[in-house]
Structure 1
Amino acid sequence: MLSFFVISVSIIFYHVYSNHLEWKKRKEEETTMMWHKGQPVKFQDSVINTASVPITMIAYKPIPQQGDGPLPPEVKKIVYNGGSLVRFREPETPPVIDQRKLSFNPIKETEEEHEQEEEEEEEESRASAVVPSPFIPEWLLEVPEDLDVLIVERHFEDAYNLIEKTREFLNETQPSTGRESLDVSFVTEMRKKLDTRVDTLTVMLTKELKVTPEKSLQGGLRSARPFIRVLNQLNKASLSCDLFLALCSSILRAQLKRVRRDGPALNYVSSASTVFFTNLSLMTTELQKVAFPGTGECAAAFVVWATREFNLFVSYVIRELFVTQSSLSSLSPCIAAVSTKCDQLTSLGLDLRYLLDGALRGPLTKALKETRDKLTDTIKLRCSEDKWKPFNLNNRQQRDKFLAEFSEAGLTSMTSYLTGDCWLRLSNNTILFTRLYLSLLQDCFQLATSELLYSIEDTLYVVMQHQLKHVDASLRNDQLADEREFIVQNADFILNNLLTLCENKFEQHFQFKSKKLETKEKVEKLCV
C-alpha cells in the first residue's frame, strides 16, 4: 500500500513538472501583447517604449479600444523582433493543476521561491539597463569608458573633442530635428555621464595647473597653454584665469629669487627690474594673444593682479634703495631704470607709471630734503675755506681734460677764463660748486615727476642760494677788497654761465621756467 502511494505521487509530480517545463519553454519562445485602450503597453511582461522598439500590428478587425488583456483570437499579430517581422500565435493557457493534489509536494515552495528570485533579477536588470535604439552607433555606447581612458592618460584635448562630438550627435538626434531620434532615457543617461566626465576633466586640469612646491616651473607659461585652452573650451574661463594668474605669480617670484645681490644696489635693482618687467611683458602678451585671445574675460582680473604684483615689487625696491645714507646720485639711476622699464609696458596697454610715481613720492621727497641739507652743509664748509685765488690746472693735459669735461656739460665758454696755459680765473670753490650743482641737476632730472616738481625746484633753489650768499658776503667784506674784481668774475660765471645753463635745461626738461630766481637779480646788482 505504501509503495503504491509513493509510485502514484511520483507519477503525478513527473507529469506536473513536465507540463511546467513545457509551459515555461513556450513562454520564452512566444510573445504576449497586452493592450490598453488600443495601445500596446506590455512586451514580454515589461513596459516598452515604442520610440525605441518599433512594433507593427496588422489586424483584420478593428482593435478593441477598451479594457486590458491580450488580443482576441481573430486578431492577427506581427511584432518587430531583431529586424524582421515574426507572426505569433496566441499563447496557450498553462494547464490548471489541482492544488489539492499538490498540497503535499515537498519541493513546491522552493521552486516558487526560485522562480520569484529569477523574475526579480530579470526586472532589476531591465530597469537598470537603458534600451538602446537599433540605430545607436557602437562608438556612442563606449564614450564613457573612452573618456575615462583619455583622462587617465592625460589626453585632455582628445577627451574634449570626444565630449563635443557626443554632444553634437545627441543634439542632432533630438525629436525637434526631424531626424530619427534616440530614446529619451538613453539621452538623459548619456548626458549625465558626460557631465560627470566633464567634472573629472576639470579637476584633472586644475591639478595640472595648480602650483605646488614639488612641481617644476621650468616649462613656464608655454607648458600650461593646452590646459588653459581646454578649460576655456569647457566654459571655465574664470577658473582658468585664476589658475593662469597664480602660475604667473609663482614664475615671477621664482625668477626674482635668482637675481644675485652681489655688487652695489644699482646693479641689483637694475637686474631685478629687467627680470620683473620682462616677465610681466611676456605674461601680458601671453594673456592677450594666446591664453585669452580676442576676449576681455580675464583683462580686468589681470589688471588687478598686475597692480598687486607691481606694488609688491616697488615696495621691495624701496626697501633695498632707501636705506640710511643713500645718496641721490646712487638713487637716481636706479629709479630711472625702473621708470624706463615701466614705460615700456604702455605699448602693451598696461600703464603702471602712476603707481610707481605714487609709491616713490614719499621716499624721494625725503631723499631730496636730506640731499639738500647735506649739500648746504658741504657748501658752507667749502665757503669758509675759500681764499678767492685762481685755480691751477697744473699742466696742459689736465687743462684739456678740464675743458672737455665742462664743454660736455654745456659750459663752452670756459676758455675765456683761462690765463696763460694752466691758470683759470675761477676759484677752486667755484669749480667744485659747478660740478656739484650740475650733478644735482642731472639727478633731479632722472627723478622728475609731476608729484616731485616742487621738491626738485626747492632743492635746486636752496643749494644755489647758499652759494650766492657766499658770493654776496664776500663782495660786502671789506677785508676782501683787493680780491673784489676776482670775486666779481666768479659771480659773473655763476650767474651768466652756470645758472643760465641750468635755467635752460630746467625749462627744456619741464617745459616751463623756474620762478625762484630773485636771488640772481640781487647778486647782479651787487656786481655792477
Structure 2
Amino acid sequence: MTDNQMKIFNNKDFRPEKYIQNLVQECVGGSELQQKKQQIQEYSEQTSSSLKKYVYANYMQFIETANEIQHLESEMNQLSHILLIEQRNLLSCLGDGNSQNLNKEVEEYDQESSSVDESSQQAIRSVKELVQGFNSKVLEGKTFLNDGALIELDSNDYRPIQRVFFFLFNDTLIVCKIRHDKKLEFISQYDPRKIAVINIKDLDGVKNAINTITTDGSKIFQCISTAAKNEWIEKFEIALKFNQQLNQKSKKGQTPPPASVQKQSNSLDNKSITSDITGSPTEENNSVTENWAPDWLAIAPEEIQSFIAQRHFEEALNLIQKSEEYIAYDSTFWNASEISGKIKNLKTSLSNVLIEELSNCQVRSLQAALRSSRRPLKLLAEMGKARQACGKLLKVCSNAIRMTQREARRNNAEISELFFCDLSQVVSEFLRAFSNQPACVSSLVVWCNTELRYFSNQLIKHYLTKGSQLENVAKCVEGVRKPCAKLTEIGLDLGYHVEGLLRSTLEQIIEDSRYRLLDTIGRSEDTWQPYNLQTKTNLKNLLREMEGFGIDLRNHVTGDTWINLTQCTVNFCRHFLSVNESCAFLAKNEALKMSVEILLRDLFLAQHAITPNSAMTVDLNFVTKNKNYLLQELLPTAIDKYEKISGRRNDFLCELRAQFGGGPPKPKPRSIYQTDVI
C-alpha cells in the first residue's frame, strides 16, 4: 500500500465501517477485494513487526523507568512513615498537657458530640426519605461517617456496571442503586468490620478505584476524584477503629466517644488513647492509658492481602513473620488476639495459594516444572509446610516424567536413560529444596518406589514381551542397569529394586528361549561334509566375522574356499557365541545366573550329541574333528567371554569341559593345501 493509504489508518478520525463501505464501492469484483485485503494484512504485519522492534529497542528504558518508579514509591512510603511518626509524637506531646487543657478538650469533646449527633440524625432522616426498601429503624443510635456516589466496575475489564450510593455509619454500610429517576433503591447492607478496602493503583482508563472485599465477594468501585477515594479509605479505617474502641470501652463500662472526636484526637496514634476524665479534684490528673498496636501492625492484614493479590509472595511472608514475631514479643495491646487471628488466617491463605501455584506447574517439561516450583517450594518450606509441598512437587514430577516417557516410546527413543536422567534431576532438586527437612526423605523413597514400579510395568509391557529375542532382552536390561548405576553418585541405589521388579519376567523369557533354541538344534540335516564358501570373498568375510566372536578358523581352511568343518558346526559356533554374550549380560544379576547357565549347557549338549544318520556314509574322523572343535575351541572361548562380560564363573560349562576333558581320539593329521586368502 502507498504512504497516503497508510496514513488513513493513522488518522484519529478513522472509522472502519465507513472505510469498508467506500472500499466496497470503489472495488470491482471479488479479486480486487482480495487484493485490498492482502494489502491491509501486509500493512498489519508490518505495523506489528515495527512495534516489536520499537519495544525491543526501548526495552531497557522500560525496565529503568519501572525501577525508578519503584524507587520513588519506596521513598514516598518512607516519607509517609516519617510523617506518621512525627504526628504521633506531636499528639503524645499534646496529650501530656496540664489539667486545664484537658478540661478544654472535654468541653470541645461535648461540642463535637452534639454536632456529630445532629449530623447523624440528619443522615438517618435522609436515608429514611431517599432510600426505598430499607428499614431505617436499625440506624437508631448509629454514628454517621460519610456518604457519596460511586460507580461499580466489572472486575475483569473494568467496564462500568451501575451507579451506586454509599451511606457509611459506624457499624453499617448501606449500598443503594441510583435509578434513572434519581431515586435510591436499596441493594445490600454490610458490616464495615467485615469489609477489607484495598487501594487500587491507577491504570490506563481506570483511576480513583477501590476494591472492597465483602462476604458476597470482591467488588470494584470508582470514586469521583482522588480526594474522594482517600476520604473513603480513611472513613472505613475510622469505622473499623471506632468499633474496636467501642467494644473495649463497653467492657470497662464507659461511654465511647464519637468517631470524629477519635479521629481528631488520636486516630493515627498507635500508642494509647486517653479515657474519659471525671471532674473530681482527686482524680483530676489521673488518666487511663490503653495500648494500641503499631501502625504497621494495624494495617499489616491489608498489606498482606495486597501482596498476595499482586503475587508478591516473598513480601507477604516477610510481613507475616515480622507480625508473628512482634505479637510473640509483645501481646499486651488490647486487639492483639484479633490481629493475631487475621495474621493466622492470611498465613493459611498464603500457603493455599502457594500449594495451588505448585500444583499448576508446567507438566509437559520436567525441567520447566522444576524451575517454576523453586519459588513456592522455598516459601512453603519456610512456612513449615514442607510435607504438603513435597507431596505436590512429586505429583507434578510424576505427571511430567510419564508424559515424557509416552512421547519417547512414540518416537522410538531410548526410554531407560531418559527415565533415570529425569529421576536424578527430581532427586537432586528435591534434596536441594528440602535439605533441612529430613522427614521428607521418606516421601521421596516412596515416590521412587512407585515410579520404578510404573516404569518396570511399562518396560515389560512394551519391550520384554513373550517371544522377545534374547539379544534384544539383554540390550534392554543392560540399558536399564547402566543409567541406574549412575544414581549412586547422588546417593540413590535402586539397582537391587529394579532387578527384583524384572526378575520374574526375565526368568520366564529365558525359559521360553531355552525351549525355542533347543527346538532349532538338529532341525536341518547335516551332510557331514566340509563347508564350501564358493568364493574367496565369502571366505574372507566369514573369517573376519568369526574373529569378531573370538574364534580363529584359519587353521581349518583348506583349498581356496573350503573350511574343514561342517556348515552346521560353523553356524552353531556363531549362534552359540551370540547367545553366550546375551546370557553373560543377564548373568550380572545373581538371581538369573543359574537360568542362563542351564540354557547354555543344554544348548551345547544338544549340538554335541548330534550324530550322523546310520544310513549315511560319512568319514568318522571328520565327525570326530567337528566334536573336538566344539570341546577344545568353542567351549573355552565361550567360558572366557562369559566370565569377562558378567564377572562371574560359568560353573555348568566348566563342568562340561572337565567332563569331556579327554574327548574322542584325535584324527590323523593330513597334509592339506591352504588358500592365499590367509
Report if TM-score (shorter chain) is over 0.5.
yes
Residues 461, 515 of structure 1: CA spacing in aligned structure 2 closer, same or farther, 3 A cutoff?
Answer: closer
Residues 85, 457 of structure 1: CA spacing in aligned structure 2 closer, same or farther, 3 A cutoff?
Answer: farther
Q: Do 1:311 and 1:355's aligned partners in 2 also have CA atoms closer than 8 Å?
A: no
2:444 alignment partner, one of 294, 302, 319: 302
1: distance between equivalents of 2:665 and 2:445?
59
**Structure 1 match to 2:627:** 491
Paired residue type of 1:205: L
Aligned residue runs from structure 1 range 151-162, under 5 A: 151-162=308-319
Q: Do 1:274 and 1:341's aligned partners in 2 also have CA atoms closer than 8 Å?
A: yes
**Structure 1 match to 2:495:** 353
Residues 497, 125 of structure 1: CA spacing in aligned structure 2 closer, same or farther, 3 A cutoff?
Answer: closer
Task: Compare relative contact order (CA 8 Å, sep 6+) and give the higher one, 1 or 2.
Answer: 1
Aligned residue runs from structure 1 range 380-419, under 5 A: 380-382=522-524, 385-412=525-552, 414-419=553-558
1: distance between equivalents of 2:607 and 2:529?
17
1:222 aligns with 2:366: no
1:514 alignment partner, one of 651, 654, 661: 651
3-state SS of paired residue (2:335):
helix
Residues 503, 233 of structure 1: CA spacing in aligned structure 2 closer, same or farther, 3 A cutoff?
Answer: same
Deviation at 1:359, TM superposition (A): 1.9
Q: Do 2:271 and 2:294's aligned partners in 1 also have CA atoms closer than 8 Å?
A: no
Q: Do 2:530 and 2:564's aligned partners in 1 also have CA atoms closer than 8 Å?
A: yes
1:94-132 CA distances to partner (integer Å, 9 max, x unpaired)? xxxxxxxxxxxxxxxxxxx99x9379x899652347994
2: distance between equivalents of 1:216 and 1:249?
9
Q: Do 1:396 and 1:422's aligned partners in 2 also have CA atoms closer than 8 Å?
A: yes
**Structure 2 match to 1:117:** 141
1: distance between equivalents of 2:448 and 2:93?
68
2: distance between equivalents of 1:125 and 1:507?
86
Residues 125, 433 of structure 1: CA spacing in aligned structure 2 closer, same or farther, 3 A cutoff?
Answer: closer
3-state SS of paired residue (2:643):
helix
Q: Do 1:418 and 1:424's aligned partners in 2 also have CA atoms closer than 8 Å?
A: yes
Rg larger in structure: 1
1:457-498 CA distances to partner (integer Å, 9 max, x unpaired)? 10000000101111xx34xx7666751121222122111111
Residues 346, 518 of structure 1: CA spacing in aligned structure 2 closer, same or farther, 3 A cutoff?
Answer: closer
- TM superposition score normalised by structure 2: 0.55
Q: Do 1:390 and 1:425's aligned partners in 2 also have CA atoms closer than 8 Å?
A: yes
Residues 129, 216 of structure 1: CA spacing in aligned structure 2 closer, same or farther, 3 A cutoff?
Answer: farther
Q: Do 1:80 and 1:86's aligned partners in 2 also have CA atoms closer than 8 Å?
A: no
Paired residue type of 2:511: K
2: distance between equivalents of 1:309 and 1:479?
62
2: distance between equivalents of 1:519 and 1:298?
54
Paired residue type of 2:665: C
Paired residue type of 2:514: R
Aligned residue runs from structure 1 range 64-463, under 5 A: 82-87=95-100, 117=141, 126-128=245-247, 132-134=270-272, 137-172=294-329, 174=330, 183-211=332-360, 217-218=364-365, 219-261=368-410, 268=412, 271-289=414-432, 291-382=433-524, 385-412=525-552, 414-448=553-587, 449-463=589-603
1: distance between equivalents of 2:583 and 2:408?
28
Paired residue type of 2:309: V
1: distance between equivalents of 2:580 and 2:438?
44
3-state SS of paired residue (1:512):
coil
3-state SS of paired residue (1:310):
helix
2: distance between equivalents of 1:138 and 1:322?
69
3-state SS of paired residue (1:283):
helix
Deviation at 1:89, TM superposition (A): 6.8
1:222-277 CA distances to partner (integer Å, 9 max, x unpaired)? 10111111111101111111111111111112212322436xxxxx3x52223322
- TM superposition score normalised by structure 1: 0.70
Q: Do 2:531 and 2:563's aligned partners in 1 also have CA atoms closer than 8 Å?
A: yes
Residues 315, 260 of structure 1: CA spacing in aligned structure 2 closer, same or farther, 3 A cutoff?
Answer: closer
**Structure 2 match to 1:97:** none
1:196-236 CA distances to partner (integer Å, 9 max, x unpaired)? 11011011112112249xx7645311101111111111011
Residues 217, 152 of structure 1: CA spacing in aligned structure 2 closer, same or farther, 3 A cutoff?
Answer: farther
Unaligned stretches of 5+ residues in structure 2: 1-91, 108-136, 144-169, 172-241, 250-268, 273-291, 667-678
1:172-219 CA distances to partner (integer Å, 9 max, x unpaired)? 5x3xxxxxxx6432333322221111011011112112249xx76453
Q: Do 1:133 and 1:183's aligned partners in 2 also have CA atoms closer than 8 Å?
A: no
1: distance between equivalents of 2:103 and 2:425?
79
Residues 89, 428 of structure 1: CA spacing in aligned structure 2 closer, same or farther, 3 A cutoff?
Answer: closer
1: distance between equivalents of 2:103 and 2:298?
35
Residues 133, 506 of structure 1: CA spacing in aligned structure 2 closer, same or farther, 3 A cutoff?
Answer: same
Paired residue type of 1:380: G
Residues 85, 192 of structure 1: CA spacing in aligned structure 2 closer, same or farther, 3 A cutoff?
Answer: farther
2: distance between equivalents of 1:374 and 1:360?
21
2: distance between equivalents of 1:170 and 1:389?
100
Residues 250, 298 of structure 1: CA spacing in aligned structure 2 closer, same or farther, 3 A cutoff?
Answer: same
Paired residue type of 1:251: A
1: distance between equivalents of 2:654 and 2:435?
56
Residues 427, 185 of structure 1: CA spacing in aligned structure 2 closer, same or farther, 3 A cutoff?
Answer: same
**Structure 1 match to 2:226:** none
Percent identity between the aligned chains? Answer: 27
Across the two proteins, how many residue pairs are aligned to each other?
406
2: distance between equivalents of 1:277 and 1:452?
23
Paired residue type of 1:150: F
2: distance between equivalents of 1:124 and 1:406?
98
3-state SS of paired residue (2:560):
coil
Unaligned stretches of 5+ residues in structure 1: 1-78, 93-112, 175-181, 263-267
